[in-house]
Structure 1
Amino acid sequence: MFIHPWDDALDDAEWQTWIADGHDFGILSANGLPGRAPMAVPTHFTVDDTALLVHLARPNPVWKAIEADPKVTFTVTGDYAFIPGPWRAKPGTPPTDGVPTSYYAAVQFTCRATVIDEPGAKAELLRRQMAHFQPEGDHAPMDPGQAPYGRMLPGIRGLRLDVTEVHAKFKYDDHKPVEQRTDTARRLTDRGAALDSPTAAQQLRRVDRVGTWNA
C-alpha cells in the first residue's frame, strides 16, 4: 500500500484507536497455490494483543493456500468517500480544473497465520470473539461436546494471525490548506451519502491534529 507522508498514521495509537472504534471487518489475503490467483476472504476479526483472531468454515479453499504459505495480509478499510474535482480546485482556478480523489482510512497487517483445529482452542477463540461482538452474552456455552455449539466445532477452523508489520493510511488531503479541508468536510456533511459523515469526521479529526502540513 503506497502512503504519502501526509497520509501516514501520526502514531500507532491513531490506527489502534480507529480499529477499536468498530472497524472489525476486513479482507484476509493469502498467496495463491501455484498457477492460481491470490485468495481474498472477507471476514470479521477480533484483536488479541498482537494477533488477530478469525474463524472460517472448514470447506473454505483458503486453508490450502495458508498451509502452503502462512504469510498473509489482512486489510481493513473504512470511512471512505469520493471527492469531486471542484471541491479540490486550487483557490483562484476554475472549479473544473480540480482533480477528484478518494478519501479513506486503511490499515494493512502483515501476519503469520497459525491454524487452530483443537476443539478446546477453537471454543476459546469463539468465546473471545463473542466477548467482542456480543458482550452482553445471551448465548449458549461454547464448549466441545455441549450443544449447540459443540457439535458445530468440527465444521470450522480457527486462525491466529500474529502481526509482524502494520501499515496505516489516513487519506484526507492533509497537504491541502486547512480552510479547504474544513470546507470539504462541510460539503461531505451536507451531501450526506453513504459514509460521508464518518469521512468528514475523520477529516476534521486530522485537521485538528495536523493543522497546516509541514513536510
Structure 2
Amino acid sequence: MFIQPWDAGLDEAEWQAWIADGHDFGLLSVNGLPGQAPATVPTHFTSDTGHLLIHLARPNPVWTAIENDPDVTFAVFGDYAFIPGTWRAKPGTTPTDGVPTSYYTAVQFTCRAHIVDDPEAKAELLRHQLAHFQPDGDHAPVAVDQPPYGRMLSGIRGLRLEVTEVRAKFKYDDNKPVEHRTTVADHLTERGQGLDVPSALQQRRRLDRVGTWKP
C-alpha cells in the first residue's frame, strides 16, 4: 500500500481508535500455491494482544495456502468516497479542469498465521469473538461438550494472526489548503451518499489535528 507522507497515520492511537469504532470486517490475503493466484477471504475479526482472531469453515480452500506459507496480510478499509474533479479545481481555474480522487481509510496488518485446531482453543476463540459481537451474552454457551457449538467446532478452524507490522493510511487531501478541505467536507455532507458523511467526519477530524500541512 503506497502512502504519501500527508496520508500517513499520525500515531498508533489514530488507527487503533478507527478500528475500535466498528471497523471489524476485513480482507485476509494469502500467498497462492505455485502456479496459483493469491487468495482472499472477506471476514469479521477481533483482536487480542497483538493478534487478530478469525475463524473460517474447514472446507475453505485457503487453508492449504496458509499451511504452505503462513505469512499473510489482513486489510481493513472504510470511510471512502469518490471526490469529483469539480470539487478539487484550484481557485480561479475552470472547475472541469479539476482532477478527481478517492478518499478512504485503510489499515493493513502484516501477520504470521497460526492455525487453531484444538477444540477448546477454538471454543475460546469463539467466546472471545462473541464477547465482541454479542456483548449482551444472548447466545448459548460455547463449550466443546454442549450443543449447539460443541458439535459444530469440528467444521471450523481458527486463526490467530500474529501482527508483525501495521501500516495505516488516511487519504483525505491533507496536503491541500484548509479552505479546500473544509469545502470538500461540506460537499460530502451535502451529497450524503454511501459513506460520504463518515468520510467528511474523517476529513474534519484530520483537519483539526493536521491544520496546514507542513512537510
Question: Which amino acid is 2:148 matched to?
Answer: P
* Partner of residue 91, structure 1: 91
Q: Which runs of 4+ in 1 moved over 6 A?
A: none
* Partner of residue 31, structure 1: 31
Cα distance, 1:49 vs. partner?
1.4
**Hey, what's the Cα distance between the residues in 1 that align with 2:88 and 2:47?**
37
Cα distance, 1:145 vs. partner?
1.7
Give runs of aligned pairs for residues 6-25 of structure 1, distance below 5 A.
Answer: 6-25=6-25
* Partner of residue 194, structure 1: 194
**Hey, what's the Cα distance between the residues in 1 that align with 2:211 and 2:29?**
35
Give runs of aligned pairs for residues 163-182 of structure 1, distance below 5 A.
Answer: 163-182=163-182
SS of match in other structure, 2:93: coil
- Percent of matched pairs sharing the same residue: 74
**Hey, what's the Cα distance between the residues in 1 that align with 2:143 and 2:119?**
8
Cα distance, 1:23 vs. partner?
0.3
Cα distance, 1:91 vs. partner?
0.9
Cα distance, 1:30 vs. partner?
0.2
Give runs of aligned pairs for residues 49-68 of structure 1, distance below 5 A.
Answer: 49-68=49-68
Q: Which runs of 5+ in 2 are unaligned?
A: none
Q: Which runs of 5+ in 1 are unaligned?
A: none
**Hey, what's the Cα distance between the residues in 1 that align with 2:83 and 2:134?**
35
Q: CA offsets, 1:100-142, max 9 Å, x none?
A: 0000000000000000000000000000000000000110010
* Partner of residue 117, structure 1: 117
* Partner of residue 74, structure 2: 74
Cα distance, 1:10 vs. partner?
0.3
1:155 and 2:129 aligned: no
What TM-score, normalized by structure 1, do the two folds share? 1.00
Cα distance, 1:18 vs. partner?
0.3
Question: Which amino acid is 2:3 matched to?
Answer: I
**Hey, what's the Cα distance between the residues in 2 that align with 1:18 and 1:50?**
16
SS of match in other structure, 1:145: coil
SS of match in other structure, 1:124: helix
Question: Which amino acid is 2:67 matched to?
Answer: E
**May I ask how many residue pairs the two structures share in their alignment?**
215
Question: Which amino acid is 2:172 matched to?
Answer: Y
**Hey, what's the Cα distance between the residues in 2 that align with 1:162 and 1:152?**
25
**Hey, what's the Cα distance between the residues in 2 that align with 1:30 and 1:209?**
35
**Hey, what's the Cα distance between the residues in 2 that align with 1:150 and 1:157?**
13
SS of match in other structure, 1:204: helix
**Hey, what's the Cα distance between the residues in 2 that align with 1:42 and 1:13?**
25
